[in-house]
Amino acid sequence: AQTVTQSQPEMSVQEAETVTLSCTYDTSESDYYLFWYKQPPSRQMILVIRQEAYKQQNATENRFSVNFQKAAKSFSLKISDSQLGDAAMYFCAYRSAYLADYQLIWGAGTKLIIKP
């Protein structure tokens, strides 16, 4: 069974600096999708970024980018120029590309604190 591990329960960063949140996963599959979701205090879960395993290029969305290391089964999220609005819980999630597996497998989350 697939698992997702976020080893940092909490991280803090100074505003305007860069922070990296780590995520590792375990799977025997070769084709899958990885996601980072953000949950601010308002509770709304929002997709931050998505990566297809078959793509070697790391996904980027404005200040958010990933470092996808398929062999190491690592999927870290880098937030550049941190802003106060980035403060939230961040969840890493895995999804098989095989239609028989419908579920998102979630990590335990990392709480990101932004210091002004």
Partner 1 sequence: DTAVSQTPKYLVTQMGNDKSIKCEQNLGHDTMYWYKQDSKKFLKIMFSYNNKELIINETVPNRFSPKSPDKAHLNLHINSLELGDSAVYFCASSRDTSGREEQFFGPGTRLTVL
Q: Give the one residue of 91, 92, 113, 115 binding partner 1; rule: CB under 8 A.
A: 91
CB of 16 to partner 1, least distance (A): 27
Rounded distance, CA 90 to CA 39, Å? 6
End-to-end CA distance of the chain: 41
Identity of residue 102: Y
Of 22, 40, 50, 80, the one binding partner 1 (CB under 8 A) is: 50
Q: Is residue 64 near partner 1 by the rule CB under 8 A?
A: no
Size of the site for partner 1 (CB under 8 A): 26
- In the structure encoding, which two tokens stand for residue 49, read together? 């970024």
